[in-house]
């Protein structure tokens, strides 16, 4: 914990003064372009991976980057999504899974979750992903890594479906005001694979956003 406290002190002494103007602008309001939904895993830093600054990403995190389908029961995800979309007016939603995800391992092996009843129930929102992979590939033919990778991808696809059931999101999609993106981040290579709805495949980030990345490399 000590290094966290000294981090706060360092931030206040060195970092904040250097970016004072930017922080002052943000002091009274935010106008993020993107709602970024990812796993609570400590190894993902959305701002680091996307090289963005405070104020640019509205971030929602939970175990498994799950978006429960809309219901009349209010939860933290439902309220945060509604706020980001209807009040802040984000124009993009990124749902980002990741390699070596503990939540996805739990979704594959729910018997191992007997002592974690809430985790088990929460991961019920990922059940479609495990079922789809089972049907498509037959789990026995896959290595553990392959199985986990496919479930992680399928989970992102499933959560993209779920978010479309939220009324505020559905309204913006219907009027072309919002774009959805499904990503999977790999810790080992820093590769981000992105979901292509037309082909139902994940492909490298540079293929999906070719023009933008070409501009960056010039």
Binding site for Zn ion (CB under 5 A): 39, 41, 101, 103
Q: How far is the CB of 139 from Zn ion (least distance, A)?
A: 20
Does residue 58 contact residue 32 with C-beta atoms inside 8 Å?
A: yes
CA proximity to 150, closest of 116, 126, 167? 126
- What angle do helix axes 127-137 and 144-163 make, rounded to 10 degrees? 130
Residue (86 or 128) nearer to Zn ion, CB: 128
Q: How far is the CB of 62 from Zn ion (least distance, A)?
A: 9
CB atoms within 10 A of CB 97: 31
Residue (85 or 122) nearer to Zn ion, CB: 122
Residue (22 or 40) nearer to Zn ion, CB: 40
d(CA 107, CA 150) in angstroms, rounded, equals 12
Token output for 133: 């992979």
Q: Binding residue per annotation — 39?
A: yes
Q: Binding residue per annotation — 176?
A: no
Q: How far is the CB of 102 from Zn ion (least distance, A)?
A: 6
Q: Binding residue per annotation — 70?
A: no
d(CA 112, CA 79) in angstroms, rounded, equals 31
Integer-rounded Cα radius of gyration of the chain: 19
Q: Binding residue per annotation — 196?
A: no
Q: How far is the CB of 43 from Zn ion (least distance, A)?
A: 8
Residue (16 or 187) nearer to Zn ion, CB: 187
> Which residues are known binding-site members for Zn(2+)?
39, 41, 98, 101
């Amino acid at each position: 914990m000590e290094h966290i406290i000294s981090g706060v002190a360092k931030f206040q002494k060195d970092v904040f003064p250097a970016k004072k103007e930017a922080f002052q602008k943000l002091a009274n309001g935010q106008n993020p372009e993107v709602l970024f939904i990812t796993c609570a895993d400590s190894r993902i830093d959305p701002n680091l991976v996307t090289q963005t600054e405070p104020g640019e990403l509205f971030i929602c995190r939970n175990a498994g980057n799950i978006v429960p389908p809309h219901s009349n029961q209010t939860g933290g995800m439902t309220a945060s999504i509604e706020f980001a979309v209807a009040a802040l007016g984000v124009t993009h939603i990124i749902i980002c899974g990741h390699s070596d995800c503990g939540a996805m391992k739990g979704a594959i092996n729910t018997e191992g979750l007997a002592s974690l009843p809430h985790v088990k129930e929460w991961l019920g929102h990922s059940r479609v992903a495990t079922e789809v992979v089972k049907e498509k590939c037959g789990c026995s033919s896959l290595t553990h890594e392959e199985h986990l990778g496919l479930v992680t991808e399928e989970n992102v696809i499933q959560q993209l479906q779920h978010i479309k059931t939220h009324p505020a999101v559905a309204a913006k999609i219907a009027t072309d005001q919002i774009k959805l993106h499904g990503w999977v981040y790999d810790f080992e290579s820093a590769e981000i694979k992105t979901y292509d709805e037309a082909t139902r495949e994940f492909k490298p980030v540079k293929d999906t956003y070719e023009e933008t990345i070409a501009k960056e490399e010039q």
